[in-house]
A and B are shown apart, each in its own frame.
Chain A
Amino acid sequence: MSNNAVENFEPKILVFACNWCTYAGADLAGTSRLQYPPNVRVLRVPCSCRVNPQFVLRAFQRGIDGVLVAGCHPGDCHYTTGNYYTRRRFLLITRMMDYMGIDSRRFHTRWISGAEGPKFQQVVTEMINEVKAIGPNDKFRDDAKIEVKAVETNE
């Protein structure tokens, strides 16, 4: 990877945002006109606990460079306990990703409430900058699939 390629690289970051807090936090960041780079795609989920680790693996396979799973602070889950399960699950998966050789800077879990627009801005900005610095993800990628997809869109 040449330095030039890394400099021009615009990472794709996928955010799984819990409907009840982080999604509202992202919305607040927007209505407050807090700026952050446009590399983020937000995918709304009913609870952070909805995020099956397969979703994260699938994202990396299909060419995403960084994944953020974000939900309510422990104790604040709309379904009372969902995020406690999220926490156990992703403590393990974060370590497994590292074990498989995926740079741990590419994958984060964070608690971001509906009132934390600035935190949303800060977390995604930091993540985009970090992933920009380490370059595109080439681990776990299913390049065959990505090419097929590109052909389909060009039609």
Chain B
Amino acid sequence: MSNIQNEMRAVAKELLESGKATVVLGWEKGTMPYDSTPVMIRSAADVDKLIWDEYCLQNLSTYLIDFINTEDKVAIFAKGCDTRAYNRLVHDRRINPKNSIVIGVPCSGMKNPKVAAKTPEGAEVPMANACKECRYPNPVACDQKIGSDVTPWCTAKDFSDVEAIEAMDADAKAAFWKEQYSKCIRCYACRNICPACNCTNCIFDQSASGWCSKDVNASENQFYGVTRAFHVAGRCIECGQCEAVCPSDIPIMLMNKKFIKDIDTLFGNYEAGLVTEGTTPLNSYQVADPEEFM
């Protein structure tokens, strides 16, 4: 890892000194060993803050939205999932690819910081949930790359957790989701971190519209959960950031993966975040789509 870290610092230094970039987004060490937080570097003197370890989980691509109206030239380090997130944002026209430089970093899987926080020091920490199922650890697109590609440890989508819920009876399903969403505090962290949740005006910020209330109860929280999952259906790039940041440990990916599974079954296998042009499953149709409504 330290070789990659050294290379990152060297690349950042070169980009800032040459003026090819005015800002570099990377990770620095946080307050805890299991905590690597985003850092914004504007001066070549600060590049030694940059680190690369097994907790560089957070996706940096979403920060590019903040630069859409600035004159900055932003370089970001991006793992496989981060490049899919980058593509998502370019596809949604929420970032300007001309003002950004993507430095791809092949990833061997990040560790789960939530578990690490409860694990005694020195003990083995498992991979983050989304990383366990990751099929794109290598950058899917980038301007330059650091390190060499790894062999993906998953090749097919794993829906066994979704199938386990599907197998439950209706009352058990309802009870499960009610319990999960009763824990939601509507902090909107899941939305804020999500590269697919990139709307300029989110409906959940417009409570006067009558669409959504700020009441925090199981019904409104489930309305929030389903609505957000539906808004990202066909666009979610499976980075698992939403679930990773949820302070209430709500299994948000179970919702996202349900839509992914059904989209694949009904409309054909779809991989979000691989391209930046063309349609997505829910803004397109086929005349020959399954017909169940006759």
| B and A form one assembly | yes
* Inter-subunit contact B174/A139 (CB<8 Å): yes
* Inter-subunit contact A81/B258 (CB<8 Å): no
Chain A residue nearest in CB terms to B266: A91
Q: Chain B contacts of A92 at CB under 8 A?
A: 230, 233, 259, 262-263, 266, 282
Q: Chain B contacts of A75 at CB under 8 A?
A: 287
Number of A-B contacts (CB under 8 A): 106
* Inter-subunit contact B230/A96 (CB<8 Å): yes
Query: Closest approach, in angstroms, between the C-beta of B158 and any C-beta of chain A?
Result: 17
* Inter-subunit contact B173/A110 (CB<8 Å): no
- 1/0 contact string of A92-107 vs chain B (CB within 8 Å): 1111101111110000
- 1/0 contact string of A111-155 vs chain B (CB within 8 Å): 100000000000000000000000000011111110000000000
* Inter-subunit contact A100/B290 (CB<8 Å): no
- 1/0 contact string of B161-190 vs chain A (CB within 8 Å): 000011000111111110000000000000
* Inter-subunit contact B226/A61 (CB<8 Å): no
- A54 touching B266 in the complex, CB below 8 Å, given contacts A88-B282, A101-B171: no
* Inter-subunit contact B223/A81 (CB<8 Å): no
* Inter-subunit contact B287/A84 (CB<8 Å): yes
- A99 touching B230 in the complex, CB below 8 Å, given contacts A88-B285, A140-B219: no
Interface: B5 (CB within 8 A) = no
Q: Chain A contacts of B277 at CB under 8 A?
A: none
**Distance, CA A85 to CA B172, complexed state (A):** 31
Query: Closest approach, in angstroms, between the C-beta of A148 and any C-beta of chain B?
Result: 11
Partner of A88, one of B211, B220, B289, B294: B289
* Inter-subunit contact A91/B258 (CB<8 Å): no
Q: Chain B contacts of A143 at CB under 8 A?
A: 219
* Inter-subunit contact B293/A109 (CB<8 Å): yes
Partner of A61, one of B219, B266, B281: B219
| Most chain B beta-carbon contacts within 10 A, residue among A75, A85, A100 | A100
- 1/0 contact string of B248-282 vs chain A (CB within 8 Å): 00000001001100110011000000000000011
Partner of A87, one of B174, B177, B217, B291: B291
* Inter-subunit contact B219/A110 (CB<8 Å): no
Chain A residue nearest in CB terms to B162: A99
Interface: B124 (CB within 8 A) = no
- A101 touching B258 in the complex, CB below 8 Å, given contacts A91-B290, A92-B266, A142-B219: no
* Inter-subunit contact B223/A58 (CB<8 Å): yes
Binding site for A on B (CB under 8 A): 165-166, 170-177, 211, 213, 215, 217, 219-220, 222-223, 226-227, 229-230, 233, 255, 258-259, 262-263, 266-267, 281-283, 285-287, 289-294
6 A-B contacts (beta carbon < 8 Å): A84-B287, A85-B285, A96-B229, A96-B262, A103-B170, A141-B219
Binding site for B on A (CB under 8 A): 53-54, 57-58, 61, 74-75, 81, 84-85, 87-96, 98-103, 108-111, 139-145
